[in-house]
Amino acid sequence: MKHIRWCGILQRIALAYLVVAVMEIATKDARVQDQSSSGFFSVFRLYLSQWIVACCILLIYLSLVYGIYVPDWEFTVTCGTRGNLSPPCNAVGYIDRKVLGINHLYQKPAWRRHRDCTDDSPHEGPFKRDAPAWCASPFEPEGLLSSFSAVLSTIIGVHYGHVLVHMKSHMDRLKQWVTMGIALLLLGIILHFSHAIPLNKQLYTLSYICVTAGAAGIVFSMLYFLVDVVSLRYVFAPLRWVGMNAMLVYVMAAAGIFEGFLNGWYYDGTNNTLVYWVRKHVFVRVWHSERVGILLYVLVSQILLWALLAGLLHRAGVYWKL
């Protein structure tokens, strides 16, 4: 219990879903009707209270990130600043260290690959001899404040769903999704390249939310057009199979449970596992490139394989649900 990690991606998802679910329940009196003739902003007006909550969340997040004073660390890390988004001196990490405790944070954060920490950056490698002390310190990428801002992504995603419910015309739905997606994407890019709010997944900054939510809206619009308008449903059937057995694919593939089981089989030493052999001899050596080989291995073993398996389970009517 002294070193348990309290936060994580599933906890973040649960928090975001909980907040949005409460908001949906609170606004359940909004009538489900065709809003296609009521203008572009009809769905926004229908759920105005949710967007007010989203604005409040954004204001609180920005106020804390740029307003909290981050003092020097206990072990020779100099900060003494406000509004700093650098790895050691950001308010997101400071709040997590004070509230959760440094022993309950993620022990191998992405900043270990920072150029100030290793010569192998952006890949992980041995620390430089003169690497700053914060390189070896923990950081929680799914911490309190960054999870708070992650609720905004969920609210935007729910808005895409509201459009699907309230607008019945394909064209009206696509206009809403594409327009909002492009607007968010451009806003995020402008914020980043103007150095106002840089893209940072670890801190879940506003620019990161805009870019990811905007890109998601554009990709969703493309898939909707191809599947529901053009009716290329057979081509994209594997995506449907994976979605219907998402729990199985996440646990066995994304979480690495199945690959971990296979890693129990090895020869000559624990480093020569079955997974290592397949990746090296079937993919890397064939293509004479480690990067291309690993990419193909991921596409085949963690996407294509599980899509086909999900298809077989779908055909048999077997679904893993909670």
Q: Are 167 and 178 in contact (CB under 8 A)?
A: no
Q: Are 96 and 144 in contact (CB under 8 A)?
A: yes
Q: What is the DSSP string of 275-318?
A: HHHHIIIIIIHHHT-HHHHHHHHHIIIIIIHHHHHHHHHHHHT-
Question: What are the average pLDDT values for consecutive 10-residue runs of the chain, which has 322 residues?
Answer: 89 95 83 54 90 96 96 85 93 95 92 91 89 91 94 96 92 96 98 96 96 98 96 93 93 88 79 83 86 90 93 95 80
Q: How far is CA 237 from CA 216, 252, 314, in A?
A: 19, 20, 11
Q: What element of type H or E holds 150?
A: helix 144-166
Q: What is the DSSP string of 114-146?
A: STTTBTTTTS--PBPTT--GGGGS---TT-HHH
Q: Are 214 and 185 in contact (CB under 8 A)?
A: yes
How far apart CA 135 and CA 117 sit, in angstroms, is 6
| Torsion region of 269: left, alpha or beta (phi above 0 gives left; psi -120 to 50 gives alpha) | left
What's the token pair of residue 124? 């992980």
CA atoms in the 13 A half-sphere facing the CB of 108: 3
8-40 core/surface letters (b: 16 or more CB in 10 A; e: else): eeeebeebbeebbeebeeeeeebeeeebbeeee
pTM (predicted TM-score): 0.88
SS3 196: coil
Q: How far is CA 100 from CA 33, 96, 205, 254, in A?
A: 45, 5, 21, 27
What's the token pair of residue 49? 């209270």
